[in-house]
Structure 1
Amino acid sequence: MTDTVLDLRGSTVCVTGLGVSGPPVARALLSLGAVVTVVDGRDDDANRARAEELRAEGIAVELGDPALPEGTTLVVTSPGWRPDSPLLVAAARDGIEVIGDVELAWRLKPADQVWLAITGTNGKTTTVRMLEAMLRADGRRALAVGNVGTPVIEAVLDRGPGRPTVLAVELSSFQLHWSSSLRPHAGVVLNIAADHLDWHGGLDAYAGAKAAVYARGTIRVVNVADSATRALAEKHGDPHTPLVGFGLGTPRPGELGLVEDLLVDRAFVPDPAGSAEELATVADVVPAAPHNVANALAAAALARSVGVAPEAVRAGLREFAPEPHRIAHVATVAGVDYVDDSKATNPHAAAASLAAYPSIVWIAGGLLKGADVADLVAGAADRLRAVVLLGADRDRLRAALTEHAAHVKVVEVERTDGAAMAEVVTAAAGLARSGDTVLLAPAAASMDMFANYNVRGDAFAAEVRSIRV
């Protein structure tokens, strides 16, 4: 094991943002001997409290309308800061390097620590947690980090006897944009759909940021059902490194897939052309919705790339517990299943959820953030018994339903106060028949009515549990 490869002693480093990543990065830089200033444009009570904590530890903090601190030699930016932020533009103009927390962690990691990287528009957290469970079932000192779990900077600076030797790294497009030298052992782009286009300036730039996981020397894991991810891997990856596919069909040599109800590996076996390895069954994947089975296969591909045994893949899937509000079964009332997929905050995620059930009363709406919903509605039309709409952009969903699913009964809930979800669930229950699924998969963000998707999902579950038959 080597020590850090980046000597920051005495360097003047600016950290932008007091959100999730900023304080851990600032503390790590201070521990490495840097002179650290954290800047944030929001001067509110929450940030003032965080600032006082950091100042007490010897870290300077500037709030309000911060400028680049004099003498800065490196900027470590929080993922949410756009590239056109004045401070970042000023740094680039002055020739000061701007990197993100993930790039900093990569440069500081021990030489023997292996990174397995996961990105995509949807499914990242589920897949990274599945991967972590598989690795641990195989006896590895593994940890889920990045956009989930432990901050990645803390994981790489851990030098204790139980330090993680394999990281399952969830990465957002923002983090990847600021990562120039990242070289994971294996990486996957689960899927690509329009998201965060205002930040990146367009779909090509968004997809290009995701492609950073396919760096030179990285085993490229691709979704065979998503031609965009294969194109990214072929364009941005090293053609001399393996290209491993995963999908819900029968796997060809070099792929992981399904043979009836079995998850099968034909990539990481001695003879891919003539042999296969059973990894698990569909029943081992909870919930066993098609897109979640695909997530399991992606996680298995990454795990197998570092030699995880087939039985550990199965054990990991059986140990895995889904994060809240991801196609979570809430209750069955009078033969109707109620499912909370509040995390489906964009059309791509909602489409995957809708594809999992044959007869649906769909609860949808919120902030669409400019996303088009025509294809989503057209693709799900034959599965919809009825739709209950809520939220600021429900008119756009109503228009798509009128055009592509005119036969479907639609109820709109106009109120946006705390009692709205009660009205939504009451309407959905009245429309559902035995054998149906009432599915909260909004295809939209929640902030028009709720603090976040977790609060929205909790409100749904609470109202479902109060149904009286």
Structure 2
Amino acid sequence: MGSGQVTTSVPSGQSEFQGRRVTVAGLGVSGVPAAKALVERGAIVTVVNDGDDERARAQAAELEALGVTVRLGDGATLPEGTELIVTAPGWQPGKPLFQAAEQAGVPIWGDVELAWRLRGPDAAPWLAVTGTNGKTTTVRMLASILKAAGLRTAAVGNIGVSLLDAVLGEEEYDVLAVELSSYQLHWAPSLRAYSGAVLNLAPDHLDWHGSMDAYAADKGRVYEGNQVACVYNVADPRTEDLVREADVEEGCRAVGFTLGTPAVSQLGVVDGILIDRAFVENRYKNAQELAEVADVDPPAPHNIANALAAAALARSFGVPAQAVRDGLRAFRPDAHRIQHVADLDGVAYVDDSKATNTHAAEASLAAYEPIVWIAGGLAKGAEFDELVAASAKRLRGVVLIGADRALIREALERHAPEVPVVDLDRTDTGAMLQAVTEAKRLARPGDTVLLAPACASMDMFTNYNQRGDAFAAAVRELGA
């Protein structure tokens, strides 16, 4: 882990943006507040947007009333005189707009970078979380722990609350729990968190980043300039490698989390107790009990890992052990994240529709045994051999739905040929009731019927929330 002084002060908003020609790439949740913030600071703002639908036109009218120029249906051309681009996080680096900007020497920021630069001199520090899976849960756990310690905080960033709103709003915070995607980190070159965590790394969004190495490098940006702790996953050595490559403030430490017994400078689990051997006096000899595994809801292995990461970040900010316990006890997971729906005839029905990739599905499958697994959807280029091989012994049966279900079926034929498979050749939303009915037929008392699709939902549903709702509705209909 490198060390070096990192400057965290930035120019004040007014002096930096007054009269500056700024192009905002993309409307939506990040583009509209970014355009408004820039106009308020005297910038001459043009918004470019690929789409030209009814929602975009309504947003354009709102911004044009403030003096913003909006170009709908033209996100490729660099407006003349542009001195800075502020982009929505999802816009890919290879877009013609960005290629033109690079040739012209125009810097490109994301909304996170803009929020970072607009913070006041006494702004709340950021505790930042990234990773392929578990970000939202970990950030919400972290916010719950910080609140239990009596701190003014909010869960912000990729979690749905705009960082710009948090930074520029009237509410004052002591510290912010910040979820950051790889997209957001890619476009945030000067971000310097108080402490940061990479929860895990698995292939995801490779079409956007271009390669696994580029994806990992963008995740690793969360460690740049950390002041107190770079929190990594002992079970995923790539996260520790990113810590070693980071340039941090003098005195910042690498802190690991593990589901096993913690070594020095780690948090872990001993006899059902979450233990801290990182933020204690004389950590070579002493340890601090933080909470019980039973305080984590649900106590699935990957969720305990999330709790340990949240605890590590909170402890790096000086939060007492009791607040970790109280915060974890108060935390309730979001819908569609390992959510217990009902018990019918001795069988548990669990909705993990949020498991939209193989890494998340593997973690979900590891939490139960035996399982009737409902899987399938849009594969997004994923392969399923590793997932099926790791989970085969847990499977009572499998029900497949969705456009790319054949990929999972073929992996099951290779690695779990003895497991009964029901392949539903339909992609309409009503398929979920048939899927749950078939799963009920395969299940025995003591089993878990688990919706952990390992795929995106958009072939059949608007999003993973609608897919999870359809599962829960089907379970309720069978139980009526």
TM tier, smaller: over 0.9
| 1:177 pairs with 2:183 | no
What is the match of residue 379 of structure 2? 368
Q: 1:151 aligns with which of 151, 162, 171?
A: 162
Q: Equivalent residues in 2 for 1:329-408 (5 A)?
A: 329-408=340-419
| 1:453 pairs with 2:464 | yes
Distance 1:104 1:394, change over 3 A: same
What is the match of residue 176 of structure 2? 167
| CA-CA distance at 1:323 after TM superposition | 1.1
Q: Equivalent residues in 2 for 1:212-291 (5 A)?
A: 212-218=221-227, 219-238=229-248, 241-291=252-302
Q: 1:12 aligns with which of 12, 15, 21?
A: 21
3-state SS of 1:168 partner? strand
Task: Report the AA paired with residue 174 of structure 2.
Answer: T
Comparing 301-310 and 141-150, the one that deviates more: 141-150
3-state SS of 1:342 partner? coil
| CA-CA distance at 1:314 after TM superposition | 0.9
What is the match of residue 47 of structure 1? 56
Task: Report the AA paired with residue 102 of structure 2.
Answer: A
Task: Report the AA paired with residue 71 of structure 2.
Answer: E
Q: Does the 8 Å contact 1:4/1:110 carry over to 2?
A: no
3-state SS of 1:216 partner? coil
Q: Does the 8 Å contact 1:220/1:237 carry over to 2?
A: no
Comparing 235-244 and 104-113, the one that deviates more: 235-244
* TM-score, normalised relative to structure 1: 0.97
| CA-CA distance at 1:270 after TM superposition | 1.1
3-state SS of 2:47 partner? strand
Q: 1:70 aligns with which of 80, 83, 91?
A: 80
3-state SS of 1:25 partner? helix
The 1-side partners of 2:272 and 2:173 are apart by 34
What is the match of residue 6 of structure 2? none
Q: Does the 8 Å contact 1:28/1:154 carry over to 2?
A: no
3-state SS of 2:17 partner? coil
| CA-CA distance at 1:4 after TM superposition | 5.8
Task: Report the AA paired with residue 354 of structure 1.
Answer: L
Comparing 216-225 and 90-99, the one that deviates more: 216-225
3-state SS of 2:60 partner? helix
What is the match of residue 150 of structure 2? 139
The 1-side partners of 2:454 and 2:349 are apart by 17
Q: 1:438 aligns with which of 436, 443, 449?
A: 449
The 2-side partners of 1:120 and 1:217 are apart by 16
The 1-side partners of 2:431 and 2:289 are apart by 48
Superposed CA deviations along residues 140-190 of structure 1, whole A, max 9, x for unmatched, are 1111111013200111113x3x41231111000001111111110100000
The 2-side partners of 1:268 and 1:5 are apart by 35
Q: Does the 8 Å contact 1:363/1:438 carry over to 2?
A: yes
Comparing 298-307 and 17-26, the one that deviates more: 17-26
What is the match of residue 196 of structure 1? 205
Q: Does the 8 Å contact 1:145/1:170 carry over to 2?
A: yes
What is the match of residue 110 of structure 2? 100
Q: Does the 8 Å contact 1:4/1:109 carry over to 2?
A: no
The 2-side partners of 1:387 and 1:418 are apart by 19
Distance 1:231 1:3, change over 3 A: closer
Q: Does the 8 Å contact 2:10/2:117 carry over to 1?
A: no
What is the match of residue 67 of structure 2? 58
The 2-side partners of 1:468 and 1:370 are apart by 36
| 1:83 pairs with 2:83 | no
Q: Does the 8 Å contact 2:223/2:243 carry over to 1?
A: yes
Comparing 383-392 and 49-58, the one that deviates more: 49-58
Give aligned-pair identity as a percent: 59
The 1-side partners of 2:136 and 2:46 are apart by 31
The 1-side partners of 2:201 and 2:247 are apart by 17
Q: Does the 8 Å contact 2:461/2:467 carry over to 1?
A: yes
The 2-side partners of 1:417 and 1:371 are apart by 22
* TM-score, normalised relative to structure 2: 0.95
Superposed CA deviations along residues 318-360 of structure 1, whole A, max 9, x for unmatched, are 1111111000000000000000000000000000000000100
Pairs aligned (count): 467
| CA-CA distance at 1:237 after TM superposition | 4.1
The 2-side partners of 1:111 and 1:172 are apart by 25
| 1:206 pairs with 2:187 | no
Task: Name stretches of at least 5 consecutive residues in structure 1 with no aligned partner.
Answer: none
The 2-side partners of 1:418 and 1:195 are apart by 26
| CA-CA distance at 1:69 after TM superposition | 2.1
What is the match of residue 339 of structure 2? 328
Q: Does the 8 Å contact 2:199/2:232 carry over to 1?
A: yes
What is the match of residue 4 of structure 2? none
Superposed CA deviations along residues 288-317 of structure 1, whole A, max 9, x for unmatched, are 100000000000000000101111111111
Comparing 142-151 and 181-190, the one that deviates more: 142-151
Task: Report the AA paired with residue 117 of structure 2.
Answer: R
3-state SS of 1:337 partner? strand
Distance 1:378 1:237, change over 3 A: farther
The 2-side partners of 1:202 and 1:149 are apart by 27
Considering only aligned residues, what root-mean-square deviation do their CA atoms show, in Å?
A: 1.5
What is the match of residue 326 of structure 2? 315
3-state SS of 2:29 partner? coil
The 2-side partners of 1:201 and 1:228 are apart by 18
Comparing 30-39 and 112-121, the one that deviates more: 30-39
Q: Does the 8 Å contact 2:373/2:452 carry over to 1?
A: yes
